[in-house]
């Protein structure tokens, strides 16, 4: 019994693969103050026993702890003279032309920033030893300060982590400890320090959450999705909490890739529109694009994560009229409690969901398969709050809310495609999340795209992606050497050591050595550049030519400069789970379940029940397609066809 769970800001989604290979989907309202409660509720409602259950889920605990500033009380240990490393940062300004910007608060208060010996030089030689007196003084300071967690980041520890390991042994027992030489053994002191601090800062919160979840599911095997798109066991997730910062969105991309491959589409532009936010990403030739230049709040995250752009525009995004009389949508959200006004839980602010209900694009009696009835009267009253000051009718104001939300999402899709050198017209737009299908046609039109895909189980695709992702370890190490005259033996040794560490970690989770596969990657740059491009490693000569070609494709030119190998990277993966979509049933063309009025359409539009649509069935828009966890609006000028797996292929 495999259960995929995606914990969102509004709903917690479940996809169950039972022993007979059947998929079941379920949703419950999230419990943000204690996410494990919603998961346990869903397990009970699905009638599952924990014993024998394998649960793979995306967690927002690490993300929320950082964004809300509710992580652990963390001490930061640096080399002598570098206690203010996190406070200084990169000295970049958020507002370029503000000559006197207010100084942001440092992530770690000065009184919790400690210094010690054990300094290395750039080549790994000892500049300052780590003495017994250093360790005794450090332990005394930690015992006095009593932090919950300690982040250790010594200069050039990525060359040799022995001094950091000695410091870890001096940390008082019971204190969560993160070492930069283990978290991110790469150059760039500030980024390495941030990654180490984030790991320590969220570690106790992630460990506590996973402990409570495990206590509520005795006998279950629990795994967590990583930001880079692979899964890892809960025990490792507690130790590597910063690797979970994009846990849920990574599941969405894994699910989109899985369904896209089944549908014969390998170039995908994805958008996951939930209740609180929208995440957009790119799948190029079947591979999820990763980045080492992500951000969480105002902090850079140099750990590998899916290359994704997130905006505060979801079904629960609140519309308002600002002081200048302009209509605004988001980023504030009604969340799960009280939620949009139409949920009938006390909400009064107009949201995108309320606007879609007013326009007739949501069916009040069919929401969540009829398990939750929407209140059209409350939705109209909420939208009227912005309609009156704008001098508009309720329907016109609702249309304005939807159009503004669409424009924000279209701009996010341009960021992840056009600004990355990708033509969106060469991709298929894949929409998922509970609200994605309501906006997919408008977004495709805005980007000049002619094809879109609404996957089967689109409303819970992130949870499905949890089941489709393999167990993975990604490891890296900085070498920073010229490609010309490269010592091939030393590079081979570095790769072999990383592969061995990755294989050992997955073997500890029960995977067989014969089932593991390794991928070698390299970060390259021209001499004098600050940033790198990542590409497969097939030897120095092949890497140099591939780098020149990639640089020219990405930036429009190549340079006659030496190329440097900065970081070596290894991805060790287990096999993908044996997961397959059930073929859509064959049958005669069905009749519409109903016909309803939709604003802007002269005649009633048909409502199709998605589970009743046979493979090969096609119909023209305008139309609504209702299913248990989502609704799709097939706009005028679009045609929909059901493929063999039950996916909706939309074409202009």
Average pLDDT, the chain: 90
CA atoms within 13 A on the CB side of 639: 8
CA distance 169 to 165: 7
| CA angle, residues 569, 574, 578, in degrees to nearest 5 | 145
| CA angle, residues 183, 186, 189, in degrees to nearest 5 | 90
Q: Which of 370, 354, 358 is nearest to 597 (CA)?
A: 358
Q: Which of 59, 374, 428 is nearest to 242 (CA)?
A: 59
Give buried/exposed letters for 473-495 (b at 16+ CB in 10 A, else e). Answer: bbbbbbbeeebeebeeeebeebb
The second-level CATH assignment, the architecture, of 2-67+207-243 is 2-Layer Sandwich (3.30)
Q: Which of 472, 5, 510 is nearest to 232 (CA)?
A: 472
pTM as predicted: 0.84
Q: pLDDT per residue over 96-145, tens digit each?
A: 888 888 888 899 999 999 999 999 999 889 999 999 999 999 999 999 99
pLDDT value for 458: 81
CA distance 543 to 524: 8
Domain boundaries, the chain: 2-67+207-243, 74-202, 472-573, 594-651
pLDDT value for 370: 65
CA atoms within 13 A on the CB side of 259: 34
Q: pLDDT per residue over 177-220, tens digit each?
A: 999 999 999 999 999 999 999 999 999 999 999 999 999 999 99
Comparison of pLDDT for 43 and 457, the residue scoring more: 43
Q: Which of 326, 398, 393 is nearest to 357 (CA)?
A: 398
pLDDT value for 368: 67
Q: pLDDT per residue over 526-582, tens digit each?
A: 999 988 999 999 999 999 999 999 998 888 899 999 999 999 999 999 988 777 777
CA distance 624 to 634: 6
CA distance 603 to 119: 76
Model confidence at 459: pLDDT above 80? no
Model confidence at 401: pLDDT above 90? yes
């Amino acid at each position: 019994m495999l259960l995929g769970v995606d914990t969102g800001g509004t709903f917690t989604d479940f996809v169950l693969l039972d022993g007979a290979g059947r998929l079941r989907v379920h949703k419950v309202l999230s419990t943000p103050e204690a996410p494990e409660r919603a998961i346990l509720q869903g397990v009970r409602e699905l009638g599952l026993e924990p014993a024998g259950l394998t649960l793979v889920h995306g967690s927002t605990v690490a993300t929320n702890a950082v964004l809300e500033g509710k992580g652990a009380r963390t001490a930061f240990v640096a080399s002598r003279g570098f206690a203010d490393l996190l406070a200084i940062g990169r000295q970049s300004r958020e507002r370029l032309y503000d000559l006197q910007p207010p100084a942001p608060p440092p992530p770690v208060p000065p009184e919790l920033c400690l210094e010690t010996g054990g300094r290395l030089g750039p080549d790994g030689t000892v500049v300052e030893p780590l003495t017994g007196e250093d360790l005794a003084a450090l332990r005394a300071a930690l015992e006095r300060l009593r932090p919950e967690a300690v982040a250790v980041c010594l200069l050039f520890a990525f060359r040799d982590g022995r001094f950091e390991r000695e410091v870890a042994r001096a940390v008082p027992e019971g204190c969560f400890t993160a070492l930069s030489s283990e978290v991110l053994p790469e150059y760039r002191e500030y980024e390495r320090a941030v990654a180490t601090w984030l790991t320590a800062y969220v570690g106790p919160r992630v460990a506590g959450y996973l402990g409570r979840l495990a206590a509520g599911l005795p006998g279950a095997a629990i795994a967590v999705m990583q930001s880079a798109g692979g899964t890892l066991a809960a025990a490792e997730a507690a130790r590597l909490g910063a690797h979970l910062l994009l846990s849920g969105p990574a599941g969405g991309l894994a699910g989109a890739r899985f369904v896209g491959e089944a549908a014969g589409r390998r170039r995908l532009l994805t958008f996951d529109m939930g209740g609180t936010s929208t995440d957009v990403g790119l799948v190029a030739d079947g591979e999820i694009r990763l980045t080492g230049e992500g951000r969480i709040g105002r902090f850079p995250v140099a750990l590998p994560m899916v290359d994704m752009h997130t905006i505060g525009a979801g079904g629960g995004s609140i519309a308002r009229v600002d002081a200048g009389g302009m209509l605004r949508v988001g980023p504030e959200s009604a969340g799960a409690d009280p939620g949009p006004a139409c949920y009938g839980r006390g909400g009064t602010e107009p949201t995108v969901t309320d606007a879609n209900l007013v326009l007739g694009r949501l069916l009040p009696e069919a929401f969540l398969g009829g398990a939750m009835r929407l209140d059209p009267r409350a939705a109209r009253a909420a939208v009227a709050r912005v309609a009156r000051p704008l001098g508009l009718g309720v329907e016109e104001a609702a249309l304005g809310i939807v159009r503004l939300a669409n424009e924000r999402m279209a701009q996010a899709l341009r960021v992840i495609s056009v600004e990355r050198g990708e033509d969106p017209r060469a991709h298929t737009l894949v929409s998922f999340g509970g609200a994605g299908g309501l906006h997919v046609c408008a977004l495709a039109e805005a980007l000049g795209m002619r094809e879109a895909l609404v996957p089967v189980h689109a409303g819970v695709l992130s949870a499905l992606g949890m089941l489709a992702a393999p167990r993975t370890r990604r490891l890296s190490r900085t070498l920073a050497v010229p490609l010309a005259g490269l010592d091939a033996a030393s590079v081979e040794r570095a790769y072999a050591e990383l592969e061995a560490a990755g294989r050992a970690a997955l073997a500890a989770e029960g995977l067989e050595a014969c089932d593991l596969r390794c991928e070698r990657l390299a970060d390259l740059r021209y001499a004098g550049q600050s940033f790198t491009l990542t590409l497969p490693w097939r030897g120095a000569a092949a890497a140099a030519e591939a780098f020149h070609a990639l640089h020219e494709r990405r930036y429009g030119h190549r340079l006659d400069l030496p190329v440097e190998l900065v970081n070596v990277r290894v991805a060790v993966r287990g096999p993908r789970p044996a997961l397959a979509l059930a073929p859509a049933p064959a049958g005669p063309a069905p009749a519409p379940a109903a016909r309803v009025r939709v604003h802007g359409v002269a005649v009633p539009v048909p409502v199709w029940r998605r589970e009743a649509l046979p493979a090969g069935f096609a119909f023209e828009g305008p139309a609504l397609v209702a299913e248990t966890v989502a609704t799709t609006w097939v706009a005028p000028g679009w045609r929909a066809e059901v493929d063999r797996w039950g996916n909706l292929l939309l074409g202009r």
